[in-house]
Structure 1
C-alpha cells in the first residue's frame, strides 16, 4: 500500500485477507526515494548518462583511494573539492528554471556565455603547459606568464560566468552554458594547484616567494565554492563567509579587540587554499569520513532500509497516545544515523509522520514542530551524528570511538525531552494512538531485523578498534550483502544507482565543508578566534555561567541558516578554544558548541529544519520554528549539564554516570512538565514554578541538589495524585 502522502487509511477498507496482510506489512513507502531539489536539473538521454557516469566515477574514486590506492593528501583533497564543484555546477542551476521554452534566456546571453569559454579554455591549456614546464626541470613559472596567461583569464571567466549564471534561465532538462564555463574553471584552478603543490614551491605558501598563480587559483576556487554553496545550501553560510573574508582586509581599520595588523592579498590567498583553510580539517573530514558514510547511506537507501526503519518505529510506538508524534521521534532517531542533515531528515520522514500527527489531533504547527525537533536530534545520535563527530575527532584529536560513547547520554536526553513534551501534550489534549489495523505488525517486522545488520557491523567494527574508514567500508559492503536476503536485492544496476546517488548526495556537504574551510582559514590567519577566547576569559572572571551563556548565543548565531556540519566547524574554531581557555575540558567544550550548533536548526528566526517541516505541514514557517523551539526547549538545558556534570559525557565512575543519567532524565521530565503545564494532571502557575525549581536542582548534578530535586518531584507527584486521582479519559481525535 503506497503511502507517499502519509495517509495510510485514505483508501476504502477491504475485506480481502491478502490485501489486509500486505497493508499491515507495509505502511511507509518512498522514505528512501531520492529527493530532487527545486534548483536541480533533471536530465534525460545522453546528458543523464554522462552525469550519472561522473557521479559513479566520483564515488568509486573515493572508495578506491581510501582503501586501495592512496594519493598524496593535498592532491586528493583538491580532487575531492574539484569533483564536487564540477558535479555541482552540472546539476544545480544558478537561477530559477524557465517554465516554458519561451521564458528561456535570449541568444545574446548564450553567446556572451560561450565567449567566456575562450578565457576559461585558455587558462586550462596554460595549466597543462605549466605542468609540462615544471616537469621538464624548471624551478618556477615566470610571474608575468602566471598573471597574464593564467590568472587574469581565469578570474575573468570565473566572475563573468558566475554573474551570467544568476540571469541565465533554461528549462529543467537543459544544460547551462555559464555552468560549463564554471566546470572548466574548476578543472583549471585545481590542475594548477595540484601542479604547484607537487613541487618544492608548495613550501613557499604564505611568503613573498609564493607563485602568484596560487593567489589567482585560490581566488577563483573560493568564488566557485561560495557560488556552489549558495546554490545547494542557501545564502546564510555565503553571507557569513563573505563577512569573514571582508574582515581580512577591513579588520586593521576596526576598533578595539577586533583589530589586527592585516594581511596582503597574496599572503592571504596563497595560504587560504592550503591545510590552514580550504584543504584543512573540514575538507579532511569530508574527503575521508563523510564521503564514505554518504556512500554507506546511499547503499542503505538503495536497499530500502529507511522504509523498514519507519515501519519499525510505527510498530514500536504507533499505538501509544499521540502515536504518530512518537513515531516521528523513533523514526527520526533511526534515520538520523544515516542522514546527514536535519532538513533532509525532516523531508524523508516528515512527509509520512506530519499528516498522521494531524490526523490524530495535533495542529499542523505542532506536527511540523515535533518532526523538526525530532529530526534535529538525529544529528547528535551515534554512531554517525550528522558527520559532526568526525570533525570533532579531527579537531580535538580524541578518538572517534570515545566521542560516540560520550554522545550516548546527551542524545538519549535530547530524545527523552522531545518524547516527554510530546507525551505530556498528548495527555493534556486527550489524544489517542493509532489503531491496531493502522500500523504494521511487530512480529512480521521482526522477521526482517537483519536489516539492522550493517549498522550493527559498523558499531562493532568501530569498537573493535578498526579505523573509521575500514569500518565504514565493511558496513557499506554489508549493506549490499544483506540486501541479497531482503525483498530489495541489490544487483549491479542497484549498486551503480547507489554510487550515483552517493555522488549526488555528497555535493551539498562537500561544498558546505569547503566553505566552512574558508571561514576557518580566516580565523586561523587573522587570529580572531583568539580574541573571542580573550573575551570569554574576561566574562569567566565575572561568572563561568555567563561565559557559557555567551558561548551558547554565539554558537546558535553562527549556526543559524547553516547545515550542522558547517555550523559546528565554525563554532569549534571561534568558541571552543575560549571555553578550553577558561578551564573546561576539551571534550566538554566541543560537545557544548556542537550541541548548540545542532540546535540552531530549530532556533528562530532562521531554523532550516522547522522551515522544511512547515513546507510539509502547510503552516506558517516562523510560527512553526517558534513552536519547535518550545518543543526542544528542555534540550537547551542539556549542554549546561556537561559543565556541571562531566559524568554525562561518560567522564567518571559507572555509579556517577548512572546517577547523573537517571536524575537528569527526571529533571528533563519535570522541565517538560513545566513547559507543557501538565505533570500527572494540569498544574497551576505556582506549581510550574516549583517544578522548574526541582528540575534545575536535578539538572545541576550535585548529590545534595539531586536529593532536593527528587524531594520536590515526589512532593509534586503526591500532590498531583490527590488532586487528579484518575486519569482523564482520552477523546477521539
Structure 2
C-alpha cells in the first residue's frame, strides 16, 4: 500500500497556511451544498427561530416538563420548520437566472390554495376547541381539513424538486408553504394527542387524523432526503410499501395488509415516529448537540485540537495521530461520522498531506478516526442513549461496557498510523510551527466540561442533569479565556445547536417510521425465526448474518438510524439464541457504525475523499483497512464478555492486554511493517497470529504471542530460513 511519499523530509514540510489559522476554523460549521446563507432581516428571523428551538428544549427538560406526545411532536415540528427554512430541495446558487414557468406557477398556486385552506381550517378547529374546552372542532373543518393540506404539501414538495429557483440567500415560496403545512399538521396532532393515544391505529381513528399523519410523514421524509440523502428515504419507502403489499407477498413476508387510515394513524404514535429514536432525539441528542455547540462557541474545540498537535504533532506521522485523538473526542459528541470528518478533517487532512501521507491515506485515517468517535463513551454519538432506551439496560452500564472496545479500536488506528509512518520514514511537523505544550498545560482547565460530564455521570446524576452541568461549565470556564461567553456567544451557541440537530431530528423521525412498520407487521420476529433456522442454532453463524445485515442496512444511513433499524430486525433473533442482550446490541451497534467506512457505500470515507481530493472508492477501501479492528472487536467481546466489563477486573485486564497485542499483529500484517518491512509470508503469519487472539483463552494467547516473537526474531535477522532448514535436517 503506497501510503506516502518516502522521500519526504523535514525540509519538505511547509505550510501553505499557518497551523494557528487552520485550527481557528475547527469550530466553524461547514456549509452544505443545499444550505441557505442568509443576511439582513432574514438572517435574524432564522437565527431567533433557532435560538427559540434550543431554548425550548432546555426549558422543558430542566424546568417545566410537557406532556410526552406534545413535547415530541413540538420537537419534530420545530425541526421540520427550521429544516425547510435553512435547507433547499437541491443545490443552491447565488444568482437568479430563471424564467417564469406557467406549469410551475400553476403547481405553486395550487399548493398555496391547498396548504392555506388546511391552515385556515386548523385555525378554526383550534378556535372552537379554545372556546368550548372540548377536544373536537367544527365538523365541517374536521371533514375537509386534511385533504387540501396533504395535496398542497405534496405539490409544494414537487415544486421544490422541479420548478423552484434555489437561491442561497432567500427562502423559496414552496418552502414557505412547507413551513405552514408543518405548523398545520403538527398543531392538529398536538391538539388531539390524548385522543390519538386511544384511537391511533384502530378503526376509531378519524379521517382527519389520517390526513394529518400522512402529511407529517411526507414532510419528515422530504426533510430527511434534503439532509441525509436518498438511502434512508428509499429504505423507509420500501417498508411503507411493504405495509400495504403484504397480502400479495410470499412466505414470511406475507401479512394481511392494512388500510391507509389504520397504518398512518399507527405510524404517528409512540409505536412509530414518536417511538424510541425521537424519544432520545428530543432529550439526550438535542441536549448533547447543544453542549457541542457550547464547546464550539467558546472555542474549546480549538483547544482540544491545539492540545493534540502540541502533544503529538512533532512525532512521526504526527498529524495523523492528532486526527486519531481529536476526531475521536469530537466525534463522540458530534453524532455523525461524516459530519465529524468534515469538521475536523478540514484541518487534519491537509496537515497529514504535508508530512507525506498521500491524499487517499490522509482521508482514510480521518474517516476511520471520526467513525470511531461514535463508539467512544460516554456519549457514543447518542448510541448509548438509544441503546439504553431500547434495551432497558441502565445508561451507565452501557457506558462502562463501551470503554475497552473503544480503547482497542483507537489503539488499532494508532498502530496503523505509526507503522505507516515507520514504513515510509515520515516525520512530524516542525516544533516551531506547533503550539507550545507548556503553555497549553496552563489552560488544561478547558477540559473541565468533559470532566464535569464524566464525573457527574459516574456520580449517578440523570443524563439530562449531567449534560446541563457540562454545558454550564463550558460557559463558566470560557470566562478564563479570551473567548468568554457573553450574550452574543450564548445566542450563537443556541443557534448553532439547533442547526446541528436538524439532521438527527429528521433521521430519527424516519427511523421511527421503519420501527413502526416492523412493529405493526411483525416482520422483525419472523425475520428472527428465519435467522434461527439459517444459523441452525449456531450463535457464531447468526452473528455473521447479523454483521452482514447491519452493514448493508447502515450503508448510506447515519449511525443512529442504522442501529435502530438493524436492532429492530436482528436483535430479537440473537437474544433468542441465548446471546446476552447487551452483547447482542453492542455487536449490532458496532457494525452499524462501521458501515460508514465499509465499501462500496462509505459516507465517512466519501466525505474525507471530498476534502483530500482522492478517489472515493479507493479511499473507502483504505479506510476499511484502517478500521479493520472494528470488524474483530465485536467477535472479541462476544467470545469474552469480560471486554464489556462483565467479569472480574483481572479478567478484563487480561482481555484488554491480549486484544491490544492481537490488533497490533493485525495492524502490522495490514501495513506490511513489523520491526522492518515484512514480506508476504511474514504478513500472513502475523495475520494468523492476530486472529488467534480473538478468543482470550490462555492457549490462543500463547500461540499469538509466540507467533509475534517468532516473526520478530526473523525480522531482526537472528534466524534465517536456511538456519531453520538446517535445524530441520
Tell me the TM-score normalized by structure 2.
Answer: 0.94
Deviation at 1:413, TM superposition (A): 0.9
Out of 206, 215, 221, which is 2:210 matched to?
215
Instruction: Give the structure 2 partner of residue 323 of structure 1.
Output: 318
Q: Which moved more, 1:101-110 or 1:272-281?
A: 101-110
Instruction: Give the structure 2 partner of residue 668 of structure 1.
Output: 663
Instruction: Give the structure 2 partner of residue 298 of structure 1.
Output: 293
Q: Which moved more, 1:267-276 or 1:103-112?
A: 103-112
Distance in 1 separating the partners of 2:352 and 2:19? 19
Instruction: Give the structure 1 partner of residue 638 of structure 2.
Output: 643
Instruction: Give the structure 2 partner of residue 695 of structure 1.
Output: 690
Distance in 1 separating the partners of 2:404 and 2:423? 28
Distance in 1 separating the partners of 2:288 and 2:135? 41
Instruction: Give the structure 2 partner of residue 730 of structure 1.
Output: none
1:287 and 2:287 are equivalent in the alignment: no
1:532 and 2:527 are equivalent in the alignment: yes
Out of 45, 48, 68, which is 1:50 matched to?
45
Instruction: Give the structure 1 partner of residue 251 of structure 2.
Output: 256
Deviation at 1:10, TM superposition (A): 3.3
1:708 and 2:703 are equivalent in the alignment: yes
Instruction: Give the structure 1 partner of residue 90 of structure 2.
Output: 95
Distance in 2 separating the partners of 1:119 and 1:80? 25
Instruction: Give the structure 2 partner of residue 388 of structure 1.
Output: 383
Deviation at 1:703, TM superposition (A): 2.3
Deviation at 1:231, TM superposition (A): 0.5
1:187 and 2:192 are equivalent in the alignment: no
What does 1:8-47 align with in structure 2 at a 5 Å threshold?
A: 9-10=14-15, 28-47=23-42
Distance in 2 separating the partners of 1:724 and 1:116? 80
Could you report, residue by residue, the CA deviation over 1:627-683 in whole angstroms, capped at 9, with x for unpaired residues?
111111232111111210111111100011000000001001111111112211222
Out of 142, 146, 149, which is 1:146 matched to?
142
Instruction: Give the structure 2 partner of residue 435 of structure 1.
Output: 430
Distance in 2 separating the partners of 1:389 and 1:444? 35
Could you report, residue by residue, the CA deviation over 1:347-391 in whole angstroms, capped at 9, with x for unpaired residues?
111111111211211111111111111111111111211111110
Could you report, residue by residue, the CA deviation over 1:519-577 in whole angstroms, capped at 9, with x for unpaired residues?
11111111111122112212332532221111001000000011111111111111112
Asked whether the 8 Å contact 2:189–2:212 carries over to 1, the reply is yes
Distance in 2 separating the partners of 1:290 and 1:8? 41
Could you report, residue by residue, the CA deviation over 1:561-600 in whole angstroms, capped at 9, with x for unpaired residues?
1111111111111111221111111111111111011101
Instruction: Give the structure 2 partner of residue 592 of structure 1.
Output: 587
Out of 417, 424, 441, which is 1:422 matched to?
417
Distance 1:533 1:443, change over 3 A: same
Instruction: Give the structure 1 partner of residue 598 of structure 2.
Output: 603
Deviation at 1:45, TM superposition (A): 1.1
Could you report, residue by residue, the CA deviation over 1:263-303 in whole angstroms, capped at 9, with x for unpaired residues?
22111111100100000100000000000111101110001
Distance in 2 separating the partners of 1:497 and 1:141? 40
Asked whether the 8 Å contact 2:114–2:153 carries over to 1, the reply is no
1:448 and 2:439 are equivalent in the alignment: no
1:547 and 2:552 are equivalent in the alignment: no
Distance in 1 separating the partners of 2:19 and 2:537? 60
Out of 553, 574, 578, which is 1:579 matched to?
574
1:84 and 2:79 are equivalent in the alignment: yes
Q: Secondary structure at the match of 1:612?
A: helix
Distance in 2 separating the partners of 1:659 and 1:710? 13
Instruction: Give the structure 2 partner of residue 19 of structure 1.
Output: none
Deviation at 1:157, TM superposition (A): 0.8
Asked whether the 8 Å contact 1:104–1:169 carries over to 2, the reply is no
Deviation at 1:128, TM superposition (A): 2.9
Instruction: Give the structure 2 partner of residue 233 of structure 1.
Output: 228
Instruction: Give the structure 1 partner of residue 724 of structure 2.
Output: none
Out of 254, 266, 272, which is 1:271 matched to?
266
Deviation at 1:9, TM superposition (A): 4.2
Asked whether the 8 Å contact 1:536–1:582 carries over to 2, the reply is no
Distance 1:232 1:445, change over 3 A: same
Out of 472, 476, 500, which is 1:477 matched to?
472
Tell me the TM-score normalized by structure 1.
Answer: 0.93
Asked whether the 8 Å contact 1:602–1:610 carries over to 2, the reply is yes
Deviation at 1:104, TM superposition (A): 6.2
Instruction: Give the structure 2 partner of residue 655 of structure 1.
Output: 650
Distance 1:65 1:620, change over 3 A: same
Instruction: Give the structure 2 partner of residue 463 of structure 1.
Output: 458
Distance in 2 separating the partners of 1:359 and 1:260? 59
Deviation at 1:338, TM superposition (A): 2.4
Distance in 1 separating the partners of 2:441 and 2:101? 59
Query: RMSD between aligned alpha carbons?
Result: 2.0
Instruction: Give the structure 2 partner of residue 18 of structure 1.
Output: none
Deviation at 1:119, TM superposition (A): 2.1
Q: Secondary structure at the match of 1:408?
A: helix
Instruction: Give the structure 2 partner of residue 169 of structure 1.
Output: 165
Distance in 1 separating the partners of 2:139 and 2:127? 16
What does 1:713-728 align with in structure 2 at a 5 Å threshold?
A: 713-722=708-717
Asked whether the 8 Å contact 1:333–1:374 carries over to 2, the reply is yes
Distance 1:301 1:104, change over 3 A: farther
Distance in 1 separating the partners of 2:315 and 2:91? 44
Asked whether the 8 Å contact 1:207–1:267 carries over to 2, the reply is yes
Out of 182, 190, 194, which is 1:198 matched to?
194
Asked whether the 8 Å contact 1:104–1:171 carries over to 2, the reply is no
Asked whether the 8 Å contact 2:49–2:82 carries over to 1, the reply is yes
Could you report, residue by residue, the CA deviation over 1:484-537 in whole angstroms, capped at 9, with x for unpaired residues?
111211110110111111111111110111011111111111111112211221
Q: Secondary structure at the match of 1:324?
A: helix
Deviation at 1:410, TM superposition (A): 0.8
Gaps of 5+ in 1: 1-6, 13-22, 726-733
Deviation at 1:252, TM superposition (A): 2.3
Asked whether the 8 Å contact 2:590–2:630 carries over to 1, the reply is no
Q: Secondary structure at the match of 2:97?
A: helix
Could you report, residue by residue, the CA deviation over 1:302-330 in whole angstroms, capped at 9, with x for unpaired residues?
01111111111111211221111111111
Distance in 2 separating the partners of 1:104 and 1:478? 53
Asked whether the 8 Å contact 2:15–2:354 carries over to 1, the reply is no
Distance in 2 separating the partners of 1:380 and 1:190? 34
Instruction: Give the structure 2 partner of residue 224 of structure 1.
Output: 219
Deviation at 1:110, TM superposition (A): 4.7
Distance in 1 separating the partners of 2:523 and 2:32? 36
Q: Which moved more, 1:95-104 or 1:565-574?
A: 95-104
Gaps of 5+ in 2: 1-11, 721-729
Asked whether the 8 Å contact 1:154–1:220 carries over to 2, the reply is yes
Q: Secondary structure at the match of 1:637?
A: helix
Out of 345, 355, 360, which is 1:360 matched to?
355
Could you report, residue by residue, the CA deviation over 1:130-161 in whole angstroms, capped at 9, with x for unpaired residues?
234455265756877534x2111111111100
